[in-house]
Amino acid sequence: MLTRISSKKTKMNGARFAIVASRYNARYVDAMLRAAKAELKRAGASEVQVLRVPGAYEIPVVAARLARTQQASLAGIICLGVILRGQTVHADHIGRAVSQALMEVQLTHEVPVIHEVLLLENEEQARVRCLGKKFNRGAEAAQTALAMAKVMAQLPG
């Protein structure tokens, strides 16, 4: 179920975030990226580092390197991509591999990794989830990153 975007009041002044975004299906990913950056800026993030990779499959290795090398200074890593199903099961394999890898990155390094690598049936679903003003998974990803950064900051250690 899609949820309308509502600009939450979460403030993270001074927090640093990274966004790893696929170049593949750029029309949709670029729209999510713009929305995510705008949401983080609105919340007062001090820095948003954007790294572009060729496709969704390449996102986890960059997220892992960021988590390992910048663990202490990153409040969260947002991963953005769009995988459209075709006539084979290839998209399912990519989606499953990316999901598993991103989960492992956040558990290993204890850095919130926000998974918005969307596995969609068709371009209509991509338009609704990525291009609309009412629904944008990029804005939702940024809101989740902000909320998780806040939670993580409250935890000991």
Domain assignment present for residue 79? The answer is yes
Domain assignment present for residue 2? The answer is no
Judge whether 90 counts as a catalytic residue.
Answer: yes
pTM for the full model? 0.93
Secondary structure letter of residue 56 according to DSSP: G
Domain range for 73 is 16-154
Tens digit of each residue's pLDDT (9 = 90 or more) over 8-54: 566 767 899 999 999 999 999 999 999 999 999 999 999 999 999 99
How many domains are contained in the chain?
A: 1
Measured distance CA(108)–CA(92) in Å, rounded: 24
CATH assignment of the domain containing 35: 3.40.50.960
Tens digit of each residue's pLDDT (9 = 90 or more) over 77-134: 999 999 999 888 999 999 999 999 999 999 999 999 999 999 999 999 999 999 987 8
User: Does the pLDDT value for residue 67 go beyond 90?
Assistant: yes
C-alpha distances (whole Å) from 137 to each of 28, 70, 73, 107, 108 are 10, 25, 25, 23, 25
Domain assignment present for residue 6? The answer is no
Domain assignment present for residue 7? The answer is no
| Catalytic residue chosen out of the listed positions 90, 93, 109, 115 | 90
